[in-house]
Amino acid sequence: MKKFTQHNGIAAPLDRANVDTDMIIPKQFLKSIKRAGFGPNLFDELRYLDEGQPDQDCAGRPLNPDFVLNQPRYAGASVLLARENFGCGSSREHAPWALDDYGFRAVIAPSFADIFYNNCFKNGLLPIILSEAQVDQLFREVAEQEGYQLTVDLERQVVVTPSGAEFAFEVDGFRKHCLLNGLDDIGLTLQHADEIKAYETRRRQEAPWLFDAIHN
Amino acid sequence: MAGKTLYDKLWDAHLVRQNEDGSALIYIDRQILHEVTSPQAFEGLRLAGRKPWRIDTNLATPDHNVPTTARAGGVDQIVDPVSRIQVKTLDANCDDFGIVEFKMNDHRQGIVHVVGPEQGMTLPGSTVVCGDSHTSTHGAFGALAHGIGTSEVEHVLATQCLIAKKMKNMLVRVDGELGAGVTAKDVVLHIIGVIGTAGGTGCAIEFGGSAIRSLSVEGRMTVCNMAIEAGARVGLVAVDDKTIEYFRGRAFAPQGALFDAAAKAWATLVSDADAQFDTVVEIRAEDIKPQVTWGTSPEMVVAVDGTVPNPTRESDPVKADGIRRALQYMGLEADQKITDIQLDRVFIGSCTNSRIEDLRAAAAVVKGRKVAATLKQALVVPGSGLVKSQAEAEGLDQIFIAAGLEWREPGCSMCLAMNPDKLGQGEHCASTSNRNFEGRQGFGGRTHLVSPAMAAAAAIAGHFVDVREMMQQ
């Protein structure tokens, strides 16, 4: 997995609550059997005026000029500012894949939906929860100052604004460790193979019906 | 010491390893796979040279992309080449790894969350995962079930475990008696309206109370299915005799003496009387009327006799902005009566409402009536091949066809429009599915979530009507 230690980049504000995963990456793009290439279709229905199709070249599509990521001042943004319950809806990991492929490395919001939050960590994308007041402040500052950049320091668990203000955030110790070191979850779990086998032996006694094979 | 909740019991029984930082390894008994969220997981296994840990705990079936029109020609007949490749990729991966798959034309094929319990793959006290957020459905049987991402699908294939953190315990208790024409779907939409689309974030919600106990197991599945629309990955209902009887004779359920032993263990899968919940929400069944969503989030819901909200009466600016945006997308006016919303299409199906009882409820409403001439289409899509056969044996298909509804092959269909069943731009749909997000059922489509009976009534009227009034006619 991709490491995350520290990141500095342009922040882009997406000022709406309950941004769902259908909005982040619409269903027609979920037909891909690959992990990469979702970036051009990130926020497809907000970003373009026409209906996007899989495998289509997006270069010639009509852009929605009102959509924040289409504004020149947010070109190259890599930190997304968002509102409450970001990433609600489906379990599609295509949502963090699309954010990552577009170039985002961190999303800051007052709250996230559980599955999306979890999926981010598997892909080196850092979801950061700050208080509503702090997020409001960042929305105000980014609107006022063109080229506004944020620094995210995972080691110290802080978001640093251009004026040097620091906002601390919480992150689960295990996830932090994996992100800082770019560790593969499966490899880590397989280090406990003996414990998994011991569990199976014990459980087979208690609930043998759970060990009947699914068969044809 | 306080007693345990049902969720506590399920968690404890599956705990392989508890780490000091709060994360844990939990054991997964069953995984269901479909074509959309599995290809990258299989690719990951191959790239790392890993083998599945316990191959015979997995079951696959294609559902999201499959056409629901005649499909005797098999996968090659899928018109959309991207969809066809995805279904073929699932077939190839299952063949390669030796995973049992109900392929598209197998009579047991269907929507993963209908097929799992129907086959007895899901069992009380088991852990069930699937790369689909509506896996919460299976919690209706006292199973710990939730949706996972594709990386986790791969993790479960490779290790039979998930890295997880224990959720909080939330109890939503619905006491009292539901009125005639008020269904499980109305109960869960009402709950989401009360607690909000993030009301259950971080929680496992147990649905309890006399109204939940009085629901059939299929009704409980509808309720748990939409726990995720309230933000909770996990929905649960305590095991009772109805749960246990449901599994008797199912293909993958234990048989004979083993069934009796299992039933004894399953009967303990209830929250202890002195269990402590972090949050308790109490709802009176008598307060619940048939529900209709008017907006672009499941929490944007009112009773059928209500009106579309007015943003000027909302004090929270973010919420008022959300209402304005939703009204614009939905093409509705503030204070408009719900029963004045004219419809273009009706969809009866999805993992929320495509089981036999749903189809019976819809058929009872349309029997002897005709679909409104103003409607472009009314679809009935059974949840599985077995549901379809059962419905046909009961003559439900003929009732639908006589009323002017289309009777289709099983799949996810218009719930998320990955197959050819979709809404056109600006079209309003009365849908028994679970999400009314922008574009969910088709680019620019406008979804209103309702129960099967309400969808059927809307199909007849061409606009929303209170099904309770139609039932009296």
Interval B144-153 mean pLDDT: 98
Q: What one-letter code names the amino acid at A61?
A: R
Closest CA to B352 of B456, B255, B227: B227
Q: What is the mean pLDDT of chain B?
A: 97
Contacts of A108 (CB under 8 A, 6+ apart): A11, A79, A80, A81, A82, A128, A130, A135, A138, A150, A159
State pLDDT tens for residues B402-442. Answer: 999 999 999 999 999 999 999 999 999 999 999 999 999 99
Nearest-CB residue to B418 (from A30, A34, A45) = A30
State pLDDT tens for residues B25-38. Answer: 999 999 999 999 99
Cβ separation B254–A209 shorter than 8 A: yes
Nearest chain B Cα to A172, which residue?
B21
SS3 letters across chain B: CCECCHHHHHHHHHEEEECCCCEEEEECCEEEECCCCCHHHHHHHHHHCCCCCCHHHEEECCCCCCCCCCCCCCHHHCCCHHHHHHHHHHHHHHHHHCCEECCCCCCCCECHHHHHHHCCCCCCCCEEEECCHHHHHHHHHCCEEEECCHHHHHHHHHHCEEEEECCEEEEEEEECCCCCCCCHHHHHHHHHHHHCCCCCCCEEEEEECHHHHCCCHHHHHHHHHHHHHHCCCEEECCCCHHHHHHCCCCCCCCCHHHHHHHHHHHCCCCCCCCECCCEEEEEEHHHCCCEEECCCCCCCEEECCCECCCHHHCCCHHHHHHHHHHHHHHCCCCCCEHHHCECCEEEECCCCCCCHHHHHHHHHHHCCCCCCCCCCEEEECCCEHHHHHHHHHCCHHHHHHHHCCEECCCCCHHHCCCCCCCCCCCCEEEECCCCCCCCCCCCCCEEEECCHHHHHHHHHHCECCCHHHHHHC
* pLDDT value, residue A34: 95
Instruction: Quickly state the pLDDT bin for B138 (edges 50, 70, 90).
Output: very high
* pLDDT value, residue A200: 98
The C-alpha of A41 sits at a distance from chain B's nearest C-alpha, in angstroms, of 14
* pLDDT value, residue A95: 98
Nearest-CB residue to B318 (from A17, A207, A210) = A17
* pLDDT value, residue B471: 85
Task: Dihedral sign for Cα A95, A98, A101, A105, please.
Answer: negative
Q: Length of chain A, please?
A: 216
Give me A49's structure tokens.
């005026």
Interval B76-95 mean pLDDT: 96
Cβ separation B57–A214 shorter than 8 A: yes
State pLDDT tens for residues B425-436. Answer: 999 999 999 999
Cβ separation B83–A173 shorter than 8 A: no
Nearest chain B Cα to A214, which residue?
B56
* pLDDT value, residue B472: 82
Cα separation of B375 and A112, whole Å? 38
Give me B347's structure tokens.
């969809």
Exposure string over B55-91, b if 16+ CB within 10 A, otherwise e: eebbbbbbbbbbbbeebeeebeebebebbbbbbbbbb
Alpha-carbon Rg for chain B in angstroms = 21
Q: Which residues of B touch A203 (CB under 8 A)?
A: 13, 27
Residue showing tokens 């990386």: B151
Cα separation of A104 and A151, whole Å? 13
* pLDDT value, residue A216: 86
Q: Which residues of A touch B29 (CB under 8 A)?
A: 210
* pLDDT value, residue A2: 87
ipTM of the complex: 0.97
* pLDDT value, residue B18: 97
Cβ separation A118–B152 shorter than 8 A: yes
* Cβ–Cβ under 8 Å, residues B207 and B172: yes
State pLDDT tens for residues B114-130. Answer: 999 999 999 999 999 99
Nearest chain B Cα to A121, which residue?
B151
Q: Which residues of A touch B50 (CB under 8 A)?
A: 186
* pLDDT value, residue B411: 98
Give every residue of chain A whose pLDDT is below 70, as ranges.
Answer: none
Contacts of B264 (CB under 8 A, 6+ apart): none
Interval B135-162 mean pLDDT: 98
State pLDDT tens for residues B355-377. Answer: 999 999 999 999 999 999 999 99
The percentage of residues in chain A with a pLDDT greater than 70, rounded to a whole number, is 100
Nearest chain B Cα to A171, which residue?
B21
Interval B149-154 mean pLDDT: 98
Cα separation of B251 and B133, whole Å? 25
Cβ separation A18–B163 shorter than 8 A: no
Q: Which residues of A touch B85 (CB under 8 A)?
A: 31, 33
- pLDDT tops 80 at residue B1: no
State pLDDT tens for residues B333-357. Answer: 999 999 999 999 999 999 999 999 9
State pLDDT tens for residues B281-326. Answer: 999 999 999 999 999 999 999 999 999 999 999 998 888 999 999 9
